[in-house]
Amino acid sequence: MSRLRHPWAVARGLGSAKEGVAHWWAQRVSAAALLFLVPWFVITAVSLIGLDHANARAFLAEPMNATLMLAFVLAVTWHARLGLQVVIEDYIHTPWLEVALQLLVKFAYALAALASVVAIGRIAFTA
């Protein structure tokens, strides 16, 4: 039956939305940022072992450490959201479930990023 349909009708909604390249670049840029931020985070986390709460808070309140922690959290949440978006697009084939999961993922990661920004801000500005 599809032979009777015009090729444009068959392809409508399945062609390029001009968004794939932007998504691809966003994943690569966030991955490149994480190449530098993850080692910094691991070294920082290991160096904080054994410190009391006040000293750990003072360490994170330093402007460079707060900035790097903020960059790390935002890069991780953005990269994870982009990755889960691809997984949902590839493996969920029920339209309403795909939309619901995409919205859930976007809201969850936005909330996580916002909560992290607030927490880091409180530590940085009140220490």
Stretch 120-125: mean pLDDT, rounded? 95
Predicted local confidence at residue 4, as pLDDT: 73
Per-residue model confidence (pLDDT) at position 52? 95
pTM of the model: 0.81
Written as one letter, the residue type at 96 is W
The CATH number corresponding to 18-126 among 3.20.20.10, 1.20.1300.10, 3.30.2040.10, 3.30.2420.10 equals 1.20.1300.10
The three-state DSSP-derived secondary structure of the chain is CHHHCCHHHHHCCCCCCCCHHHHHHHHHHHHHHHHHHHHHHHHHHHHCCCCCHHHHHHHHHCHHHHHHHHHHHHHHHHHHHHHHHHHHHHHCCCHHHHHHHHHHHHHHHHHHHHHHHHHHHHHHHHC
| Least confident range of 4-13, 56-65, 100-109, 118-127 | 4-13
What residue type is 126 in one-letter code? Answer: T
To which residue do tokens 């062609």 refer? 15
What are the domain boundaries of the chain? 18-126
